[in-house]
Structure 1
Amino acid sequence: MEAAVQMNTRLERSIKTGGDAVLSQCGYSPSQAVRALWTYLCDHQDVPPFMKEAEASGMDAIRQRKLSLIHDSAGLAIKTARQCGYTGPDNNLLAGKTPHELRDVMYDDMLGEMEARCVYPESR
């Protein structure tokens, strides 16, 4: 038999208590649950499906947070540009556009406004 190793992990007390209660009701100890998970990992060379679902859900939350930050940043950039005289479209353009596309539209509009204010010497 191979030598055993000990693992230590930290959990919030409520998660530990709740998890222990469920395992006990199902006839398992925490050690048996960890052994079962590690056996699954070795046998399948992948995490169990429930972990992938949780990861996907977490990634969706991260994606939503980033989109919110992008929207807020676009609004701040346009507000700042307006203080400098920009009169082009507002952040309603964000719908369906990437941050880079929105930036390019704003810069193109600003450049057009600057060029319109410039007085060029007549060509000779």
Structure 2
Amino acid sequence: MTMVQMNVRIDAKLKNEVDDVLKQTGTSVSDVIRSVWSYIADRKTVPVLETTAQEHAREAEKQRKLRLVHEGAGLVHKELVKAGVISEDTDLMDGMTYKQLRDEMYEHQYDAYLNMKRAD
């Protein structure tokens, strides 16, 4: 295998910060560059490299969406309690998948329907 040498210009402060991290992990700059080049060659694409600001923005958006899911679940819980389908202390998910929860609710509704028919 023929080896080549590459020269790269980079901010000195950034280089020093990365050198410290690599030293702590026992990884060389060459190892990192070879890994990135191999990744690109194998996948024919550049890996997604995000800045800290982008990472924070992505995490903030994820947390925003999770809050919306929890708020929505709270609304669903209230409506199910109001409809008499579940009790106030029922944990909607209780380790179940959405499909299991849905199936259980349909089963409960079907049982209530059958009981109503029997009473007629």
TM-score of the superposed pair, with normalisation by structure 2? 0.44
Ranked by relative contact order (alpha carbons within 8 Å, sequence separation 6 or more), the top structure is 1
TM norm structure 1? 0.43
